[in-house]
Each structure stands twice: as structure tokens, then as C-alpha cells.
Amino acid sequence: MIGRLNHVAIAVPDLEAAAAQYRGALGASVGAPQAEPDHGVTVVFIELPNTKIELLHPLGDDSPIAGFLEKNPAGGIHHVCYEVEDIRAAAARLSESGARVLGDGEPKIGAHGKPVLFLHPKDFNGCLIELEEV
């Protein structure tokens, strides 16, 4: 059901510093900051030959990333994103297997302009999973 790894998301306390580190120290291709108000985050994508890194920073006080950074002030891996061909079929299959889809179960449009869903980390060995329809 899942396809390729789309990205690994890292929550960071300082988006500008993190982007500069990837650009300078690692020589990576770093995109511009992109506000995602529906998800409460500002993101920066780092393009790699085989996947992407997504830097996440809180957008507003209600951001889920703000809570994550309170518990992990230095930042850290927040989630991994896998591609799926049909997000509604994937959600139905996962629900039938006992996995919990977060939120109201309806896909939202993600940072790439495509439908996304998140799966409860307690159902996946402590890892928050994002699914993105391709």
C-alpha cells in the first residue's frame, strides 16, 4: 500500500538557523519558508536526490509543533511521510486494521498541495505517520 518515502519532518526551534545549517554545512538545496496555516506550521523543504527533509516550525501559539518543542526544546524528528496512490482507500484499509487516523478522518491539503492524513503514533511504534496522495 505505501509507496516511497516522501519526507522526514524535523521540528526545529529556529527555522532560519536550521535552514542555514543545511544550506551551509551540508550544502543542501533549501527552499523558501512556506506558511501552512491549516496545519499550524511554517515549513522549509530540503531537496535530496532520493527524498526530502521538511523543517517544521510553529505558526501561532496553537501549533502542534509548539507542544512538541516544549517537550523537545532542541527539536527532533516529528514524523515520516509515505506516499499512497489513493488516500481514502489507504485510510479505510488502515481503519479496518485497527489503526487510528487523526483528526476527523478527512484528508487536508498539505504543503505540496496534495491530500494528507496523519496516523496515531501509538499504532506505529511511537512514530507519527503522514500519508500523502500522489
Q: Which of 82, 45, 70, 42 is nearest to 58 (CA)?
A: 42
Q: What does the alpha-carbon distance between residue 114 and residue 20 come to, in Å, rounded to a whole number?
A: 27
CB atoms under 10 Å from CB of 7, counted, come to 23
What residues pair up with 115 in beta bridges, in sequence order?
Answer: 109
**DSSP string over 40-99:** TEEEEEEE-SS-EEEEEEE-STT-HHHHHHHH-TT-EEEEEEEEES-HHHHHHHHHHTTP
Give catalytic residues, as residue numbers: 130
What residues pair up with 7 in beta bridges, in sequence order?
Answer: 52, 81
